Structure 1
Amino acid sequence: MEQQTRLRHLAEVEPDQAAVLLALLEVLDWLGCAGGPWRQRLLATWPPASIDSPEALVERLGTVPSGSEQPLAEQLSRLSRRSGRLRSQGEAVLAAARQRFATGWRIARWPDQWTVRPGCPRLVLLWGRHRGPPVPFWTAVFNSRKGKIPDSAAPWLGALRSLLADPLFTPGGWATSSGTLSYDLVASHARATGVPLLLVETDSRAASAPAVPSPGPVGTEHEPILVTCHLGGPACTRPTRMVCRDRMLAALSDRQVALEIRARGNLAQVLAEAQEQTPRPFWIFDSPTETAAAGGNRWLRARFPGANRLIVDPGPADPTADRDPVAAPSEPAGVATAKGLPGDYLYHYTRACPGHWPGQKVQNYHLDLIFNRSDCAHGAFDTLCRILQEERLRAGSRMVRGETAVICWSAHPYAELERFRRWRPGLVRWTVEPWGLAVRKGILRRLGAKPAIYLPPELFSRLRPADRYRYQRHEPPGCIWKQEREWRLAGDLDLTQLQPLEAFVMVPDAVAARELIRRVDCRFPVVAATGEP
């Protein structure tokens, strides 16, 4: 391979030996043998020999390498009982291995000095050939795990936006992985902009061959290069895979950037080991608020005083910022404040949406965050804006028993919000937030809305099937939801069915009302919990 030989530390196995190892992988899958470190040790210690027939395959597998563990011998003893079947099906197994090799799968080895920890992968599968000019360097961005709902103004995200646009890094390619927002953002940006991409994976998601991850579109100039230590069979435990992923990425990258590294965490140690083993250009983000989430940055700076300091840039401007704001009065709607509202409404309080919107492509969500578009944070306010833009309140079933998608409403007046909402530590959120949509109760009744039914779980089966979407678990004192006075409506609500004065939009204050009117062409009155500007 032209480009893969440039990957730091990796040495590609000769084609003949790679074909043998791919054949052995197919047989191990066929036998249902273990995966993870066991399979790594097996293939790394098996001496090369040609396999050109089913008989040679059976004979090859019948030879246990010297020094092998007892579980290896036990698993391979199945061959003595199944050798006849393997002889008859061996040609198909070999054909599958040849096909995998022909479509671009190859095998490479790590040097012995890299695999110093127990369970470290010895071999990796490679896929993809970069078809453009040689990549001068690979840059990897490291960031400790963040929450499911990112703050669009978070310093680390601003630093990443600046980094991805920095001409210092654009001549090279990006080395990244998946499974954390930071890794996914880098991968999506590389795919969207056509920058060379190196992906490191450790499990069997999206397999395009037995237990092998799909690397993406084939044959394009910017086809990604995939490196995976998963050789089939059951994967290692998640904690083991996460450490291996970070170690492989650190070993393969030519340049490294640390955004916010948690103190005394695995990632800080991985970066330190990589720099000490093979020093390379290193940037450490100067976070303006170095809390515990970035305590590892201070430790790394002290350990590597020659590292470059990454200063945050504000990042791309919000593309909606040039719209003329629509002035809103201090009492922003037809009703003075929430305290003056009549009581014949039901209230739907919006929540943040972790990850992409329903129906939105994941890559588009990542690009919204990278380019800091107006609703990229997917907070409760962004959810409300999206509902008004689509003119549809979408039902969901994630928090409801059964498969019926519903919209949840509360009979509590908006003015009572602070009295009835509660912090739920298990869900890491408030039960409701001060954003939402209110619709007249009579209209929702005609559309089929009904009060929730609060019962202990053992009584759920007594409900009529038609009423089960109304069930809400109630087991006092540990589980009490009655204070929300919930109603449920099955299915979506088309807001175009409503007249402008049959509903209103709820926001916490007049400042929020102005921002909502700036973002959305809203035909319903906008009501603030308080009238202060």
Structure 2
Amino acid sequence: MLEPSPHNGQKRLLRLAACEPIQLQAKQISPAEVLDTPGPLVGIVSSRLGHDPNLHRQVCQFLSRRMMDLRQRHARILVAAGSAIEKLAIRAAELFHIPVVRLIVGKEATSYATTETVLVDCVIQSNDALPRDAVLIGLADQIDAAYVRRGGKIDQALRRRLLALRDSSCRVAVLNELPTAGPELIQSGAIGWYLSDTDQAMESCVKGNTYQPIIDGDTRWMQSDGQWLIHCTRSCLGPWPGQTPKQHQDELLLGHSDGFANPTSRGPLETLMRIVRSGRLVAGAITSAQKYPVVCFSERSLVECLKQRSFRSHVSRWDGEPYGIAVQIDAAKRFGIKPVIYGEKEHRKQLTSEDKFRFQAKGKTHDWTLEREWRYNATIDLTRFAENEVRVFVPEKVEASQLCPIRNWLISVTTT
């Protein structure tokens, strides 16, 4: 069942108002409740992709990046049945566990295969031959246009929406070396949707470009206490943090390795490679309460972290590896990373819901306060920090050349 909006009817009125150019009314929509959902409805549209492999590859990159963002926003995708992007968008949503509202317009109201991703089929009933893409572009709160052919129906529908709403709710992909209507739509008010530096860096690594790491010879920062937050990487035995089991299976079945020669190699170095190439620290660690995915750091010096690391037999791994990321503590505070709240188990109930992810029991067999841990309860975009506020560390100089970070972060070698 779709959850009703706390402001009953408000969302519906706003969404129907965007459809004024095509004269769509609530009584034509079944179920009409789909327009009352409080979370954003993000429409995915595209012109026909044809058989150009470069076009398919870039569109897939745009979709995969967008799905990661939409999952964190608890958004729903709106996709038109029978449209050029339908199957690809639904598959991408399935991989990232994003719910889909499938819009069925007029003659398209036939039987379609249902997947676990499709939340509901929303049927538009009308005697008029309403164009499905125009209806979707009118109804959605936001539009992501993965590919727009000049002069096509989607191009025209987007221009009508931009003229009617005059807001920043339309994003149009700007594809490399491919002619699209993107530049003209951007001039008309659409937001340019570009592949990030992350994707370009990963592509560069895949193509075998030589990377020259910036090795920092000054190791004094590694001994400083309370000035840097240390995040050590670990081996990953299953899906990467933020990756669904089905996406992990797709990676193994399709051989998609994000630039790695062997996609099954998932040691602490490969984990670090993934972080610096994506520019993200994904909230994957689970707190002792088994509820809150977080990114964890230690306020101890790097030297102390590595000197005091130990093998945890109950989980068959070290609690810290000589690979990882360091963030300046003042920058971390500005970002919203906060220290852990240590206490007895019963103290957790006294904390606000916003602070419960920070709680850690002091422990009986092990004193967890010695970790001096800090946490953040969402994925961290490292590119939001200045380059001198982030450092990377590895044990051997030869490993630094494999990292290929998307920014000019200094790399320190812990073995001297």
With the length of structure 1 as denominator, give the TM-score of the two structures.
Answer: 0.35
Report which of the two structures shows the higher radius of gyration computed on alpha carbons: 1
